[in-house]
Amino acid sequence: MPYTPPLRDFDFILEQIVAFDQVRATDRFVEATPDMVQAILSEGGRLCSEVIAPLRRPGDVTPTRLENGAVVSPPGYAEGFAALAEGGWIGISADPEFGGMGMPQTVSTAFYEMMSAACLSLQMNPLLTQGQIEALEHHASDDIKALYLPKLISGEWSGTMNLTEPQAGTDLAALRSKAEPQEDGTYRVSGQKIYISWGDCDFTQNICHLVLARLPDAPAGSKGISLFLVPKIIPNADGSLGAPNSLRVVSLEHKLGIHGSPTCVMEYEGATGWLVGAPHKGLAAMFTMMNNARVGVGVQGIGAAEGAYQHALAYAQDRKQGPTPKGATAIIDHPDIRRQLAIMRAEVFAARAIALANCVAIDMATATGGAGWAARAGWLTPITKAYGTDTGIAVSDMGIQIHGGMGFIEETGAAQFLRDVRVTAIYEGTNAIQALDLVGRKLGDGGTAAFALLDDMADTARASDMGAPVAEAVQALRVATEWMLSQDMLARAGGATAYLRAFARVLGAHMHLKAAQSGEAPRIALARVYLDHLLPEHSAHLAAMRADPATYLSLAPEDLTA
């Protein structure tokens, strides 16, 4: 089915919800004028609708495959990627010195949401490249930047990140890949990596892998990990391609969804690599890319939710089934169908506004160096990732329900949204890890960032005629935050997921209250839907947060068997 870019929502949120005018007022992003941003998103939306969206279904039914050690992509992917590259879309936020547009991350995030809705499998390729560009901009030597960044930004080359190993998933301290220094300043990288999205492709000239590995003198644990840039084909000094490197794709994973995106098992056998950043500081460098990716993955969830919502809405308007209370026959006039659609729309709006607020904070931190902005961006990142992907899953699931029996039939395309988006709650740090990050590292400031945001939310509630339930929820969340700060890490860990979900619920209500202040009747009605049907969940989450983890930790493995 066709995809309609939500351009009006983007414009409304940027101008009336997240105060994007602050970003364009900085010297760094002065060119991000309203006309410029609207032109970029309008053209990007057209590309996603007309070129990228038609690739979603073909990539599902004709997935990537491995032939003679090389990936063969689905029909049309090469042409779709070429359109992205030719339009400069891969480097929207990249440094103009190397060919990028230099736009704020807020703008690139809006574009990548549209691309996620259009074709999530293909979107993963430039998203990873974008993250690698940012990592190299921050941590690579000048020589590496000069050689690699123009090629990555232009789309001639693509990028990946290689963290996970068979024995080292979340626990990266257990990784075994090694890197041996050579006399010419390069390193020989050896080891196996798994779950490498777009570890190979047939529409870029080169694939550049960022690989975590250990130097011979590395200390044990996560403090002994370094980061290396390992290209598929070793480039010459002038950027032309030289000899193939000593790496290969061992196999492709067979997955629930995102069939158009190859998830590779990679083998490095003394492959030539270059150190990125300082020795033994690889995680810090890689986390530049991972933090970018965590926001990006949250936005993948939002994009999938938007696509599933549009798919379900179109079906509900067309499907005739039984008399409704209004006497019409389209199922959209059944109260429960209308309720589900309204909830889907309300969830998508809240998640989108949170993600864009996160990006505004990132851009303001980049442009001003303000510690407060960096702290807010840090606080919002795990919420964006977890709530965005949870929303993608929940909305896609509701989309299937609205289709009824036809939603369970693959030909309608409704199920693909759920199959594709399901992994987003897992990769780039599971949503449980996001919650642990929130109550651990992010509350390590004594709650300063959390309380500053709660103050803003309370101000919005006080200024709104609809704000009473939100004010109560904000106060409950404040008390919950104080409770978290008083607990040991076991109690925090036990309540982390519930706390993050409660915070996201209340933050979503805050965004809807701000939208209702526009006075637009549909915005007011949608805010009421969120306050009536979704905000009350925060109370249940906060109650669960305080539950003693000893209750379930006391259950031995044998107690959990049937």
Q: How far is CA 398 from CA 9, 330, 341, 533, in A?
A: 21, 18, 8, 15
Please report which residue ranges of 100-211 form alpha helices under DSSP H. Answer: 105-118, 120-139, 142-154
Q: Which of 113, 134, 306, 428 is catalytic?
A: 428
Query: How far is it, in rounded angstroms, from Cα 560 to Cα 37?
Result: 54
Please report which residue ranges of 369-428 form alpha helices under DSSP H. Answer: 371-403, 414-421
Buried b (16+ CB within 10 A) or exposed e, 510-539: bbbbbbbbeeeeebbebbebbbeebbeebe
Q: Is 183 marked active-site?
A: no
Residue 167 is which amino acid?
Q
User: What three-state secondary structure class fits 252?
Assistant: strand
Tokens 């590496």 found at: 144
Buried b (16+ CB within 10 A) or exposed e, 475-486: eebbebbebbee
Q: Which two tokens stand for residue 312?
A: 């379900």
User: What three-state secondary structure class fits 236?
Assistant: coil
Q: What angle do CA 332, 338, 342 make, to 5 degrees?
A: 130
Residue 153 is which amino acid?
I
Query: How far is it, in rounded angstroms, from Cα 439 to Cα 487?
Result: 10
Catalytic residues: 428
